[in-house]
Amino acid sequence: MLMLACKAAKPVVTPNTAVVATNNSNHDIKPEWLDIAKDMDGSATMEHLATGKTIYYETCTKCHGWKDARKYDPVAWERVLQAMIPRAKLTPDEAHHLRLYTLVFQKS
């Protein structure tokens, strides 16, 4: 009886991925990320990466929790973006910056 009560009282810990993600400094844009971005788009700037990051953490979490791009290979991620960019109603520029940030983030 006593043992059963103890077992039931154990708290269930559900990690909040969004909080973990935003507190994780691995997600911060590092100066060397610009070199990786420039390999994909020669006109990429730190501002483009920052815009992409904001969209990824704010607009892309409106309908569901934060999704880790690193869990997808680039082909699968492109399929996700093709489906999600229209859902998020991004402009072509916003879509470009989001793609750039997430592709660099995948390599981090």
Chain residues binding ligand HEC by CB under 6 A are 59-60, 62-64, 67, 80, 84-85, 87-88, 98
Give the shortest CB-48-to-ligand HEC separation in angstroms: 15
Give the shortest CB-59-to-ligand HEC separation in angstroms: 6
Residue closer to ligand HEC by CB (options 22, 35) is: 22
Residue closer to ligand HEC by CB (options 32, 76) is: 76
Residue closer to ligand HEC by CB (options 36, 98) is: 98
CA atoms within a 13 Å half-sphere pointing along the CA-CB vector of 80: 17
Interacting residues of 37 by C-beta distance below 8 A, sequence separation 6+: 44, 48, 49, 100, 104
Give the shortest CB-76-to-ligand HEC separation in angstroms: 8
Residue closer to ligand HEC by CB (options 12, 62) is: 62
Provide the CA 34 distance to its chain's centre, in angstroms. 17
Sign for the pseudo-dihedral over CA of 19, 70, 50, 66: negative
Q: In angstroms, rounded to a whole number, what is the distance separating the alpha carbons of residues 33 and 65?
A: 25
